[in-house]
């Protein structure tokens, strides 16, 4: 009936939603680029480089005996291939603890970065190799050393749900509020991806719940968008502001209503979220729920006192936006 009337506004309003929903995919793409398996080749493939190539291959495949033999023959322990990968880095990435321990015993440099800024600790954290993370930290690896994209071991481990590694990094002093190039923190990604225990661990170490990324999103907004009710409740209990606004004035309540997350909306309302808060285009949670045909959400919002007579900037009420017959009847009844 009226969807086309607000199509111009809708495109603008959905920008934040799409950016936030695909944050996880963009993050994974960055991770894939940063940690792609290193090519074990050198610019010069002459015989002088055969030992170096064999050394990195042995570290990559976990061949401890060959690594030790080549070290005894004088191969430089910290040599890097053209992508900047060292033997320690490839062994850490692939979970070869024995090789890592050998290299650390031989005083391999543990904070060398590849061309993308990835370190052995970053690689081990990304792939969930807890014992290697512990060994690197015990030798003095810097927990907050960031890649060129601003990714840190903690941010990666939190995003991917590696709880034990997150706890280890935090115990060694990793900053819980460190931000990457998009101002995203470990808490943002743990909250969006549904990692409750990591969220709790980060908050216990002082992570600030209302830090906002480049889109203005807080951890609460991302958790609400994704429908993680327990995380929403945890963040609110830790002082997160329920009405904090992201891009175009989206709030956690608006995004939860838009996506039909009943339990999240109930939790937010119980903690004082403004039920009639609207974005810059005047669209409220009730309007979004009506537009997206979430009948139960419309019922809930009306029962909690949402005002059905409010108008968007374009002059439309929730009733005028709705297409679903059942929702139209609910809004007509509420208006009378």
Q: How far apart are CA 215 and CA 220, in angstroms?
A: 13
Place of tokens 């002088």: 48
Task: Name the 3-class secondary structure at 284.
Answer: strand
Among 318, 327, 265, 322, smallest CA distance to 295 is for 327
Whole-model pTM: value is: 0.89
pLDDT of res. 143: 97
Q: How far apart are CA 194 and CA 223, in angstroms?
A: 7
Q: How far apart are CA 148 and CA 134, in angstroms?
A: 24
**Domain covering 1-30+232-336 assigned CATH 1.10.10.60 in the classification:** no
Could you tell me the CA-to-CA distances from 120 to 26, 152, 244, 273 in Å, in that order? 22, 11, 37, 44
Both tokens of 14, joined, read 């959905």
Q: Residues 291, 256: contact at Cβ < 8 Å? A: no
Q: What is the CA radius of gyration of the chain?
A: 25
Tens of pLDDT, residues 242-291: 999 998 899 999 999 999 999 999 999 999 999 999 999 999 999 999 99
Length reported for the chain? 336
pLDDT of res. 32: 53
Q: How far apart are CA 33 and CA 27, in angstroms?
A: 10
Listed as ranges, residues in the chain with pLDDT below 70 are 1-49
The torsion angle over the Cα atoms of residues 94, 137, 135 and 55, rounded to 10 degrees, is: 50
Q: Residues 32, 25: contact at Cβ < 8 Å? A: no
Q: How far apart are CA 41 and CA 76, in angstroms?
A: 16
Parse the chain into domains and list their residue ranges. Answer: 1-30+232-336
Q: How far apart are CA 37 and CA 91, in angstroms?
A: 11
Q: Which residues pair with 284 in a beta bridge?
A: 278
CB atoms within 10 A of CB 302: 19
Q: Which residues pair with 278 in a beta bridge?
A: 284
Contacts 24+ apart (CB under 8 A), 322-325: 322/1, 322/2, 322/290, 322/291, 322/293, 323/1, 323/2, 323/3, 323/291, 323/293, 324/290, 324/293, 324/295
- Run of H or E residues at 190: helix 186-192
CA angle, 191 as apex, 212 and 186 as ends, to 5°? Answer: 65
Contacts 24+ apart (CB under 8 A), 266-272: 266/300, 267/229, 267/232, 267/233, 267/236, 268/224, 268/232, 268/236, 268/242, 269/304, 271/236, 271/242, 272/242
Among 176, 262, 195, smallest CA distance to 234 is for 195
pLDDT of res. 50: 87
pLDDT of res. 47: 47
């Amino acid at each position: 009936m009226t969807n086309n009337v607000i199509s111009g506004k809708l495109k603008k309003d959905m920008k934040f939603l799409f950016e936030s929903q695909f944050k996880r995919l963009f993050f994974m793409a960055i991770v894939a680029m940063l940690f792609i398996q290193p090519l074990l080749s050198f610019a010069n493939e002459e015989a002088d480089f055969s030992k170096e190539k064999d050394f990195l291959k042995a570290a990559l495949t976990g061949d401890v005996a060959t690594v030790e033999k080549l070290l005894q023959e004088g191969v430089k322990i910290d040599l890097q291939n053209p992508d900047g990968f060292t033997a320690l880095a490839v062994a850490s990435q692939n979970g070869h603890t024995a090789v890592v321990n050998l290299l650390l015993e031989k005083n391999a440099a543990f904070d060398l970065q590849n061309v993308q800024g990835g370190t052995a600790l970053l690689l081990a954290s990304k792939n969930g190799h807890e014992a290697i993370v512990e060994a690197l930290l015990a030798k003095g690896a810097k927990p907050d050393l960031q890649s060129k994209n601003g990714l840190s071991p903690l941010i990666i481990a939190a995003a991917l749900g590696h709880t034990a590694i997150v706890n280890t990094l935090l115990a060694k002093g990793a900053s819980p509020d460190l931000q990457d190039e998009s101002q995203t923190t470990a808490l943002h990604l743990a909250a969006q991806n549904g990692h409750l225990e990591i969220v709790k661990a980060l908050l216990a170490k002082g992570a600030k719940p209302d830090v906002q990324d480049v889109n203005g999103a807080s951890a609460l907004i991302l958790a609400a968008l994704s429908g993680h009710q327990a995380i929403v409740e945890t963040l609110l209990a830790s002082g997160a502001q329920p009405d904090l606004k992201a891009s175009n004035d989206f709030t956690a309540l608006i995004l939860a209503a838009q996506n039909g997350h009943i339990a999240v909306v109930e939790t937010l309302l119980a903690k004082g979220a403004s039920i009639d808060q609207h974005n810059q285009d005047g669209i409220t949670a009730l309007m979004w729920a009506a537009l997206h045909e979430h009948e139960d959400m419309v019922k809930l919002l009306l029962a909690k006192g949402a005002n059905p007579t409010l108008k968007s900037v374009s002059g439309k009420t929730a009733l005028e936006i709705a297409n679903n017959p059942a929702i139209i009847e609910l809004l007509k009844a509420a208006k009378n």
